[in-house]
Amino acid sequence: MHEDFIKENDPQERLEKLKPQYLSTFINRYLEKDCCQRRARDFCERCLKPALAEHVNKRLGIRIVDDLSSSEKASGYRSRACFQLSVLQKLLEELDFDNYMKYINDYESFVKAAIRRDISDHYGNRESVEALEAEILSNIIKKVRGALEMPTDGGPSTVSDFVANLCRLLQKDLVIPRDSLEMILFQFTASADPSQFSADIRDSLSELEQNLASEFKAVNMEEKLSKLQVKPQDELFKRVFGCGTQCPFCGVPCEAEGPTHRKHFASAHRPQGLRRRSDHITKILGYSLCSSDVVSNALFSNSDTNGKLVPFRDYRQHYPDWLIQPDPSAEASDYWKFVFKEFKHQLARLYDTKPAHLPEDWGKLTKEQALESIKGMYSM
Ligand SMILES: [Zn+2]
Ligand SMILES: [Zn+2]
């Protein structure tokens, strides 16, 4: 009996006996750990990855707009006035009749084309877009890491609670797909350790970031830009185009800020002959400016007046939404006077009229004076 007792309590004997039990616990632990890591990878792949890709897509358009607006090269996007100035300056440098006609006769298409060109000039090389993507991705991954590092002591006791908390912390930035999330949570037992799951997700994040970056690289630029949730071309257009309503006489677009302005307004009106306005009888192209006409004895007639001649100074009876101010200064319209003078003959040919008889002082206007007048007008 004594021997039996010794045999039963011999440490070596006892360990030998318990060996299979330890082994199975060890295997179970190992398998469970492996399972937890696999679920963490699944969570990254099926929940975080689509949410991160969507976040980058959503932010990229906005970042392109901000980036372009603050860049030195495309300084025209800082404000509507800057845009006007940069467009008019470029037109003046090139002094191309067809470009001016596109600008004058179809301002909206002209602006859209200019924006498209600037975006492709600026982001023609994919590195600049990839750099923006990488920056957005790295910032959001930092946020995810921060949320994962929240203290778990006394915090969520189950994996479900932990994930619910994580989603809540990230809800402003990430929309985690519900279905995939439930599929993953379903595989956890009630006793699964949330802090282990959190640590496993953290371990998988760098790989996830690399995978996403290489997936972004595989998409060509055109496809990338066309799939953006916030389209930079539309945002920039809204920013610089403004109201866009054109003056009924000369076609200059309204420059008023804000969607609720009561009156349309433009800093400088253009010689009306730029838009085919000629004398009915003499067929000579007119050169008068709306801003001078409204304080003169001139008359106008068109389909809005049923062909009846109406004094210009009464224009608001027909166009109550427009406020045409008399020329604020003698130089304000130098830009358009110069352009009109330069293209006097092309305009007459285009509109099949006789060239305008311009005042003598228009003939002396220089390109420099034209440039000075728009710089003054857009107060740069
Ligand atoms: Zn006008
Ligand atoms: Zn307006």
Q: What is the pLDDT of residues 211-227, one digit of tens each?
A: 999 999 898 877 888 88
Cα 198 vs. chain centroid, distance in angstroms? 35
Q: Which two tokens stand for residue 70?
A: 């603050």
Query: What type of residue sits at position 291?
Result: S
Say which ligand is closest to the CA of 270.
Answer: 1
Q: Which two tokens stand for residue 370?
A: 């034209």
What's the 236 CA to ligand 2 centre distance in angstroms? 18
What's the 365 CA to ligand 2 centre distance in angstroms? 30
Tokens 């689509």, located at residue: 50
- Rounded to the nearest 5°, which phi and psi values hold at 51? -65, -40
Q: What does the domain layout of the chain look like in residue ranges?
A: 43-73+123-234, 250-377
Question: What residues are neighbours of ligand 1 (ion), with CB under 5 Å?
Answer: 247, 249-250, 269, 290
| Exposed / middle / buried, residue 311 (Cβ in 10 Å: 0-12, 13-18, 19+) | middle
Say which ligand is closest to the CA of 243.
Answer: 2
Rg over CA atoms, the chain: 35
What is the pLDDT tens value at each position of the chain, 380 positions in all? 566 666 666 777 766 776 766 666 566 555 666 677 888 889 999 999 999 999 999 999 999 888 888 877 767 888 888 888 889 999 999 999 999 999 988 888 999 998 888 888 888 777 888 899 999 999 999 999 999 887 655 666 788 888 898 999 999 999 999 888 888 888 877 778 888 889 999 999 999 999 999 999 898 877 888 888 888 888 888 888 888 888 998 888 888 877 788 899 888 888 888 887 766 677 788 888 888 888 888 888 888 888 898 999 999 999 999 999 887 566 668 999 999 999 999 999 998 888 888 889 999 999 999 999 988 888 75
Say which ligand is closest to the CA of 263.
Answer: 2
What's the 250 CA to ligand 1 centre distance in angstroms? 4
With residue 269 as reference, give the H or E element that holds it.
Answer: none
Say which ligand is closest to the CA of 271.
Answer: 1
Distance from C-alpha of 313 to C-alpha of 281, rounded to nearest angstrom: 22
What's the 262 CA to ligand 2 centre distance in angstroms? 8
Which residue from 142, 189, 263, 174 is spatially nearest to 39, judged by alpha carbons? Answer: 189
Distance from C-alpha of 279 to C-alpha of 327, rounded to nearest angstrom: 23
Question: What residues are neighbours of ligand 2 (ion), with CB under 5 Å?
Answer: 243, 245, 254, 256, 264
Q: What is the pLDDT of residues 357-367, one digit of tens each?
A: 888 999 999 99
Q: What is the pTM of this model?
A: 0.68
Distance from C-alpha of 204 to C-alpha of 216, rounded to nearest angstrom: 19
